[in-house]
Amino acid sequence: MYIVGGTASENVAKNLCKELQATYVKKVSKRFPDDELYIQILDDISKEHVIIVQTTYPDQKIIELFLLQDAVKEAGAKEITVVIPYFGYARQDTKFKEGEPISAKAMAKLISLNADKTITIDPHKEHILDFFTIPSYSCSAIPEIAKYLEKKEDIDMILAPDKGALERVKQAAKIMRCDFDYMEKTRIDGTTIEIKPKNLKAKNKNVAIIDDIISTGGTMAKSIKQLKKNDAKKVVVACTHGLFADDAIKKLNSAGCDEIISTDTIESKFSKVKIAPSITRLFHQVNLR
């Protein structure tokens, strides 16, 4: 088995290589003077099962994925599995208003053209998998996040910032054998949310808020403030996909956040949790080799 790492996900690809005892494919990746991307696969991968690992965020990484898929196909791979650690555009998973695209579907259809199967981690909603026209699987980073929190932080309670995050939080609470609660959030627009005031039993507790995505940080910041009002001792935030758009970090810090944790689906200095073990588990569970 051979693994090609796109520039958005080189660490994940290398970790996956170790886990699956695969060969890391050598390639050339550079920019033409006009900034167009040039890709060349250097190893012989003909008749092999090749896994391409690439997060589709930001936009430039999508083009890179398409070129990698084509290069791998042209090089004669027998089978192509595309691992998308963070599947960008997933939140536009329906037409909210007339005239809009279903962006998640548009992306999935294009990725499916040069692949035999796909894997993504904690997709925003599971139904997104149906947009791919090839077999698609998802796995969760929650077991890895829960293990990290158990080892590094002394957590008494986990909080879901909205009902959408509740199932993930329940799963983490089960692994960590601790209490959990949730908040009721209403999204007004892309940058504004409202959280219903709630009396959380957080007094003197160390609390971890877990969500799939931190984008502008608004959801987490409001939840942190509510926990602080309820006299929580320590508040850490953890997510699978840390986008940290605009001044998200500043927002989290000024709300009183004690620690920011994300996985490496989007690589940043907060990528404290590795997702390669989750992907490996899925490979073994559904026998994807």
Binding site for ligand R5P (CB under 6 A): 161-162, 164-165, 193, 211-219
Closest separation in Å from C-beta 11 to ligand R5P = 23
Closer to ligand R5P by Cβ: residue 44 or 100:
100
274 is catalytic: no
Measure the CA–CA gap between 225 and 213, rounded to whole angstroms. 18
Closest separation in Å from C-beta 209 to ligand R5P = 10
Question: Tell me, what amino acid is at 266?
Answer: I
Closer to ligand R5P by Cβ: residue 65 or 193:
193
Closer to ligand R5P by Cβ: residue 51 or 260:
260
Q: Look-up: residue for tokens 């696969």?
A: 41
Contact residues for 88 (Cβ-Cβ < 8 A; gap 6+): 55, 56, 57, 58, 59, 61, 62, 107
The SS3 call for residue 171 is helix
- Say if residues 14 and 24 touch (Cβ distance below 8 Å): yes
Please give the distance of CA 272 from its chain centroid, rounded to a whole number: 13
Closest separation in Å from C-beta 220 to ligand R5P = 6
Measure the CA–CA gap between 69 and 82, rounded to whole angstroms. 8
> What DSSP assignment string belongs to 7-73?
TTSHHHHHHHHHHHT-EEPPEEEEE-TTS-EEEEE-S--TTSEEEEE----SHHHHHHHHHHHHHHH
Closest separation in Å from C-beta 45 to ligand R5P = 36
Closest separation in Å from C-beta 123 to ligand R5P = 11
Measure the CA–CA gap between 234 and 129, rounded to whole angstroms. 36
Closest separation in Å from C-beta 108 to ligand R5P = 19
- Annotated catalytic residue: which of 61, 105, 117, 185? 185
Closer to ligand R5P by Cβ: residue 20 or 255:
255
- Say if residues 207 and 225 touch (Cβ distance below 8 Å): no
Closer to ligand R5P by Cβ: residue 146 or 165:
165
Closer to ligand R5P by Cβ: residue 168 or 205:
168
Find the helix packing angle between 10-20 and 276-285, rounded to 10°.
50
> SS3 helix, strand, coil % of the chain, rounded to 5?
35, 25, 40
Please give the distance of CA 28 from its chain centroid, rounded to a whole number: 26
Measure the CA–CA gap between 238 and 256, rounded to whole angstroms. 14
Cite the active site residues.
185
